[in-house]
């Protein structure tokens, strides 16, 4: 049985943020940031290249923060 399963690069299976090709201090977009967050730094292209999904998660996080702050302020002052 012959396989073509060969990984010549030792960094191929490592965490994305520690690969030399990724860590050049270049800017990443929201999709890459959320992909790294959801996969624990394993992959930066899970969410694809469309910016809408990254913006959605960013705005959702901001909305939850604002809602939580307003909720805590309202119910803390009403007692």
Residue 27 to residues 3, 12, 50, Cα–Cα distance (Å) = 38, 21, 16
8 found inside a domain = no
57 found inside a domain = yes
Question: Does residue 22 carry a pLDDT above 80?
Answer: no
1 found inside a domain = no
pLDDT band at 14 (very low <50, low <70, confident <90, very high): low
**Domain tally, the chain:** 1
71 found inside a domain = yes
10 found inside a domain = no
| Tokens 């994305």, residue located | 16
6 found inside a domain = no
Cα 3 from Cα 5, distance rounded (Å): 5
3 found inside a domain = no
Q: Tens of pLDDT along 35-78?
A: 999 988 888 888 888 889 999 999 999 999 999 999 998 888 75
Supply the range of the domain harboring residue 33. Answer: 16-77
11 found inside a domain = no
């Amino acid at each position: 049985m012959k396989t073509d399963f060969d990984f010549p690069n030792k960094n191929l299976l490592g965490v994305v943020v520690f690969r030399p090709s990724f860590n050049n201090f270049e800017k990443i977009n929201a999709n890459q940031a959320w992909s790294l967050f959801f996969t624990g730094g394993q992959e930066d292209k899970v969410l694809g290249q469309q910016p809408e999904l990254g913006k959605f998660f960013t705005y959702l996080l901001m909305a939850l923060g604002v809602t939580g702050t307003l909720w805590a302020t309202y119910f803390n002052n009403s007692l």
